[in-house]
Chains A and B, each alone.
Chain A
Amino acid sequence: MNQTLNISSGPHVRDRWTTRFIMYIVCLALLPTAVIGVIVNGMQALLIILVSIGSAVGTEALFDLLAKKPATWKDGSAIVTGLMLALTLSPNTPVWLPAIGSVFAILVVKCLFGGLGKNFVNPALAARCFLLISFPSSMTVYKLVDGVSGATPIAELAQGKAVNITSMFLGTAPGVIGGSVIAIIAGGLILWAMDIIHGQIWISVLVGFTVFIGLFGGQGFDPKFLAAHLCGGGVMLGAFFMATDYVTSPVSRLGQTVYGLFIGILGAMFRCFGTAADSFSYSIIIANLFVPLIDRFVISKPYAFRKRAIEIQRGIDKPPLFKRIPRPVIVLTAIALLAGLALSGVYMLTKDSIEQQMAEKKMQAYRTVLSGAETFEKIEAVSAYENQVYGTKFGRVFINEAVVGKDGEGKLAGYAISVTSSKGYDGNVTISVGLTEAGKITSVSFTELHETPGKGMLAADDAFIGQFNGRKAESFKLLKDGGSQTDDEIDGVSGATVTSKAVVNAVNAAMDFYYNVMGGGRNE
């Protein structure tokens, strides 16, 4: 026994978990989400994922080589970054986009700040935001599986439309590759059970988000509405996988709770008061920037120095429970609860009458455009097209409903189609188009128009909207400067080109829908 013995400070045994192991587990937890993304979106999604991971790992390896640093790419963190970035991209983005994103994430956000553990914002999210700002048009193309371009559920939610929560939950709704909420939750809960992500963070993100949306979202604590908000716009991916990123989240439990609530509330604020789609990424990035501040000031004391422990050391008996909760917490909670209850109460009470009023307005419009009809029946056969962007050449146009109008004796009086264009000067323009069986327009009427008085609002005047009466065309053309001669030319409202265009597009969409989907107008 003459050999030299190792000497070092204790402990002399170590846990089996290493950095690499944790990174691989995170990858595994993201795998179901990625697999569903590929199944739903096809091979393009797989290609995006592979390119993203490949360029992330490659960038780090190359950087290590050039900077003569130890090969840190092996620790698996680059794979996580690449995979996460890919999951936040639309499956329709061109392949060079994730490559640029990954290089930005690894090179600029991570390596240049000192590598693993030194980046101040989440690299994948920073790259996503970088891409959103630099290539907005390529980043926001979301298509349905059958090739029709579609709005993301969150965009529709912002327009006050109903969304299909089930498809969002499963991941079949239009959106990013990592859109399957059920897979994200499953992976996240596994990480939580393995104690890899902190419950304080994701729970407080979701609680903060839900409560804020419930209080200020305008529809109270309506479960469907809240579920739709939670399932869309990357909230789940953000809460479970982005916000919980070790490096860019606080260390102490209290700090983590503060940070989580901050993200949740900020994200919900963006949802309620800002432009909807990509706000959640920004809220996490902003919260990341506050982490050093939180870490500096929210420092938990050792157990022996906490208030209760000191009381015990001094032999003070345990005060009753309600005295241990700080009073402001009780007051704030009570106020928040009351406000939430009041808001949801008001919503519940008025919900039915709002819907009734809308239906009434619609019927009125149908009666106006089909003067001979007395009853209107919804055409269920074409309901599959409802609430989706219709066609590609009409701007963002939605077919709301198509009805068949019948006169008092039950004879066909014509058809009416309700169309919404979201490209008005000030939001949505909804019109009802009345059509004879032969496809001739009887008249057009507005159900929703809130444009600029004296300009866009003039579209409601007969001088503009009346031009359609009795005409028939495959497609109307808008003449900005007037002087229309043929049947398919429409003079715009002067000074309100946007509104005019939205109306003409909506009418054209209705015509197109009537001819091509409903198959009308052929037997002249």
Chain B
Amino acid sequence: MKKTFRGGVHPNEKKNLSCNEALVPFDAKGEMVFPLSQHIGKPAKAVVKKNDPVLVGQCIAEADGFVSANVISSCSGTVKAVEKRRTISGALLDCIVVDNDGQFTMAEGIGEPRDPETMTNEEIVDAVKKAGIVGLGGAGFPTHVKLMPKDPSAIRFVIANGAECEPYLTCNDRLMRESAPAIMDGMEILLRLFPNAEGVVGIEDNKPEAIAAMKEAAETHPRVRILTLKTKYPQGGEHNLIEVVTGADYPLSKLPADMGCIVDNVGTILAIGRAVLFNEPLFRHVLTVTGEAVNSPKNFIVRDGTNVLELIEAAGGIREGMELKKVLAGGPMMGFALASLDVPVVKTTNGLTCLSEDGSEKAEKQMTACLHCGRCTTVCPTGLLPQFMAEAAEMGEYERYEKKLYGLECVACGSCSYICPAKRPLTETFKRVKAEIMAEKRAKAAGGQK
């Protein structure tokens, strides 16, 4: 039996739209926009100013503090402005706008091979930090922070997350099929940092080619094994992956490292490998442009800062006679809807899903009262009681929500909303309540300090 976690749902995969499209590099033509905050933590500090010339791979904004990440230019040209721009999340953020000269001239030293044997562990982590690598799975947590746990010898597993459980998205599938050896190189570097760890690559069983390619590549890497996972959303969630590999459940208050695990997306691991072996910072990553509304879904190797509109055009544009209802950054389960398409993709954007049919719009029309059917409880991968949480939220019983129902443990994976036959907006409610409770806590803490 294939290993899996408790709960979960089976949304229509829709991966066949794009899974046979090989990765193609895409070079943007228009101006490139680099938000200073593409990661969790403090925004980076711009180190270039208007009219400065920049090159590909050049650090244009430096990490500000421990939990922060460098921002790297992905094109050559001149800085047009450092100003507030609309970003993919919809917020107005400080961005560096670069006038792209279309030459993509590399900065000096980028791409030159290095021998990791000559580097110390500290130098490796430093290289990762300099490369501006963040978690490419979507969260965007600065990777160098992850690589410095209190006790590296206590790490038992280095887990490469190749589950790609989001429907529609196929870029990691393609990456594993096409660049398995490069991912393995990254794994070796991570395993070197954690001498007692076993390397595990988790891949859902709906990607047999990726599994085969990774298995082949792993033959020369005795410390790495490929773990075939059952195809089920959210198999690629950090908690769920760790549950499968170690059998342990842990609360949000603990980190994977507390459970003896380091989890990184396969794209992140590839980036670590390239940063260490080739001195190549993170300025491009894989991304799927897909959905029923685009003409020819594609898997791209895309440069950060590329305009979304340009990418959709590159995928053949919107289909004739089809109404573009919704464009999502990411997949349909955890991705967020774009208000405007004139925004740049960032490091963590792994997909652009263009939908001609809006499931949430339809759901709103079909909404009935809660049936108490308990489906949400069955599918919750955390083991929460979403129905009661929704009730408590509705009644304003936040105390019960937090203390009795452990509502803050919700990871907002969307499984409960997905399965609900009464089409209740559960996940939406939980995100809102969590934000409210956290804001209240922060306010209280701030008040206490005064």
Contacts and interface: CB of A to CB of B under 8 A. Distances in A.
Q: Do A and B bind each other?
A: yes
Interface of A: 1, 3, 5-15, 17-19, 21-22, 72, 75, 114-118, 195-196, 198, 246-247, 249, 251-252, 295, 299-306, 309, 312-313
Given A7-B337, A19-B422, A300-B383, A12 B368 contact: no
Interface string B358-375: 111111001011111110
B388 interface: yes
Interface in B172-224: none
A95 B246 CA distance: 63
Given A11-B334, A18-B421, A19-B368, A252 B385 contact: yes
A301 B366 contact: no
Contacts of A306: 249, 383
A299 B427 contact: no
B409 A9 contact: no
Contacts of B312: 1
Nearest to B368: A19
B259 A1 contact: no
B335 A10 contact: yes
B358 A12 contact: yes
A12 B384 contact: no
B410 to A, nearest CB: 9
B82 interface: no
B244 interface: no
A361 B37 CA distance: 97
Given A12-B355, A300-B385, A5 B336 contact: no
B339 A301 contact: no
A249 B374 CA distance: 10
Nearest to B410: A302
Nearest to B333: A11
A299 to B, nearest CB: 6
Contacts of B362: 14
Interface centre among A1, A5, A313 (most CB of B within 10 A): A5
B335 A12 contact: yes
A375 B303 CA distance: 107
Interface stretch (B27-35, B274-282, B318-326): B318-326
Contact of B167 (A13, A72, A195, A252): A13
Contact of B249 (A21, A114, A198, A304): A304
A5 B384 CA distance: 33
A11 B371 contact: no
Nearest to A311: B248
Interface stretch (B6-14, B17-25, B57-65, B101-109): B6-14
B337 A5 contact: yes
A303 B383 contact: yes
Contact of B250 (A9, A75, A304): A304
Contacts of A10: 328, 332-337, 360, 412, 414, 417, 427-428
9 contacts: A1-B318, A5-B340, A8-B361, A13-B332, A18-B366, A299-B388, A303-B249, A303-B383, A304-B249
B425 A9 contact: yes
| Secondary structure class of chain A's binding surface, majority of residues | loop
Interface of B: 6, 9, 11-12, 90, 167, 239, 243, 246-251, 254, 258-259, 309, 312, 317-318, 323-328, 332-341, 353, 355, 358-363, 366, 368-374, 377-378, 382-385, 387-388, 404-406, 409, 412, 414-415, 417-423, 425, 427-428, 431
Top 3 nearest A-B pairs (CB, nearest first) are A11-B414, A303-B383, A9-B428
A198 B373 CA distance: 9
B251 A304 contact: yes
A3 B425 CA distance: 25
Contacts of B6: 303
A115 B248 contact: no
Contact of A14 (B368, B374, B378, B423): B423
A12 B248 contact: no
A479 B268 CA distance: 102
Contacts, number: 189
A117 B372 contact: yes
B377 A75 contact: no
B122 to A, nearest CB: 29
Given A15-B419, A303-B249, A5 B405 contact: no
A312 B318 CA distance: 51
A75 to B, nearest CB: 5
B359 A11 contact: yes
Contact of A6 (B317, B358, B378): B358
B151 to A, nearest CB: 13
Contacts of B325: 5-6
A15 B333 CA distance: 11
A514 B328 CA distance: 87
Given A14-B420, A313-B258, 6 more contacts: A7-B338, A15-B421, A19-B366, A295-B388, A299-B405, A312-B249
Contacts of B428: 8-10
A154 to B, nearest CB: 31
A6 B425 CA distance: 16
Nearest to B9: A15
B170 to A, nearest CB: 16
B33 to A, nearest CB: 18
A312 B251 CA distance: 12
Contacts of B317: 1
Which of A10, A117, A118: most chain B Cβ within 10 A? Answer: A10
A118 B369 contact: yes
Nearest to A312: B248
Contact of A8 (B327, B337, B340): B337
B418 A14 contact: yes
A70 to B, nearest CB: 9
Contacts of A295: 388
Contact of A75 (B323, B333, B368, B405): B368
A17 B421 contact: yes
A11 B384 contact: no
Contacts of B90: 7
A57 to B, nearest CB: 16
Contact of A251 (B249, B337, B385): B385
Contact of B247 (A115, A196, A246, A312): A312
B368 A11 contact: no
Nearest to B338: A5
Contacts of B340: 5
B360 A251 contact: no
Contacts of B388: 251, 295, 299
B360 A12 contact: yes
